[in-house]
Amino acid sequence: MPVVEGRPALHIVGMIREKADPLELFAEWFAEAEKGEPNDPSAMALATVGADGMPSQRMVLLKDYDAAGFVFYTNYESRKAQQLLAHPKAALLFHWKSLRRQVRLEGPVTKTTPEEADAYFATRARGSQIGAWASDQSRPLESRFALEKRVAEVGARYLIGSVPRPAHWSGFRLQPTLIEFWQDGAFRLHDRLEYRRASGDAPWSTRTLYP
């Protein structure tokens, strides 16, 4: 290793290999996260904005992704859903600490179709299906007992047969116009590769960014 003023010189080596389609790169990173991230590799921070312009953030789970966008599900009467319905733009962040990587996405948000929501809801654990009916998500809860009582009531209502999807429970799809891949580097000399496009059907342009 070369020496500069009595100290080893820094070797800056790019670790992100650019691809024409950012989804191909995301698929590679996500597959590695599924193997190496010990807890919820599909967990992502969702940022929305309220009527007063105040941003709000919480963790949700990625349930599907393809060229059309990144999909997650929620109660449409929740705070995040109400913000998305009023201001259909959002940002997502995946942080895979064990891999020392993160991916940021920004773009417009649309509703999933009822058929998509029905298909996913049918795959959920029965307890989660019942919870979707029992929880008035984001609204005040008078006691834990009140929630448990409601869960028991819904469970009794659907004791036999399948649990239907509540009309207020469905999904959103974020179609990214910006995707940034970040890889941790020594001495905080991180790698950053940004993909950007004007709209969902426009071609991607790329650029590398300073750490």
Query: Catalytic residues, which ones?
Result: 188
Contact (CB, 8 A) for 45 and 95: yes
Would you tell me how many other CB atoms lie within 10 Å of the CB of residue 196? 16
Distance, CA of 47 to CA of 25 (rounded, Å): 23
Q: In 3-state terms, what secondary structure has residue 13?
A: coil
User: Which residues share a beta bridge with 69?
Assistant: 66
Q: In 3-state terms, what secondary structure has residue 144?
A: helix
Distance, CA of 89 to CA of 110 (rounded, Å): 9
Token pair of 206, please? 């790329």
